[in-house]
Homo-oligomer: A and B are copies of this chain.
Amino acid sequence: MTDRVITLLIVDDHPVVRDGLRGMFASDPGFDVLGEAAGGVEGVELALRLDPDVVLMDLRMPAGSGVEAIAELTRLGARSKVLVLTTYDTDSDTIPAIEAGATGYLLKDAPREDLFAAVRAAAEGRTVLSPAVASRLVSAVRRPAVPAGEALSAREREVLGLVAKGTSNREIARELFISEATVKTHLTHLYGKLGVKDRAAAVAVAYDRGILG
């Protein structure tokens, strides 16, 4: 079914990783790496120009987030399938990436055979997930109501960030040019969303989910 050569685009901010992937795929005549990009923005441009079968996409990059790049490609109706290849597997990364339109999600510590197989699968439009990611996803989907956690609003994240720095409500109010009452409202709301009952726990959950630090 995959007799054709599969064309690839590599998007990763680490030269070492780009080289590793390039070399890896160069050793197999079934793959052809068309190009590389170091950031999301550049990745989108190249994906549109080169029209690869599969885009190998890192998520956390200085020059344009991977999730945004995926969303952009999806929005533009690009033909390329996106296979996320990252070090991290936190909820805050995986779910948005899948939602944005990623065809697969692999962790970088996957053996190369798995990687090859995943790229072939992705080229055919099949979804491929690392076992760890898959189990995360099901558990995340299984409790969509209260326990999990809706996304924080921009303002709530802003307040939470200051809380993590030890800023008091009054100081936060001054900092953001709002009243202390509003700060408390934001806090009460984000406590509910994060499923906690005080600021210390909120900071902890935020770190766990990658919202902070």
Contact = CB atoms under 8 A, between A and B. Distances in A.
Interface residues of A, number: 37
A174 interface: no
Contact of A213 (B15, B24, B168, B207): B207
Contacts of A42: none
Contacts of A166: 196-198, 200-201, 204
A176 to B, nearest CB: 17
Given A20-B20, A21-B20, A204-B164, A13 B199 contact: no
Contacts of A18: 20
Interface in A1-29: 13-21, 23-24
Interface stretch (A64-72, A97-105, A106-114, A138-146): A106-114
A173 interface: no
Nearest to A168: B198
Nearest to A201: B166
15 contacts: A13-B109, A14-B108, A16-B21, A17-B17, A17-B20, A17-B108, A19-B112, A23-B23, A165-B204, A166-B196, A199-B200, A200-B200, A200-B203, A203-B204, A207-B212
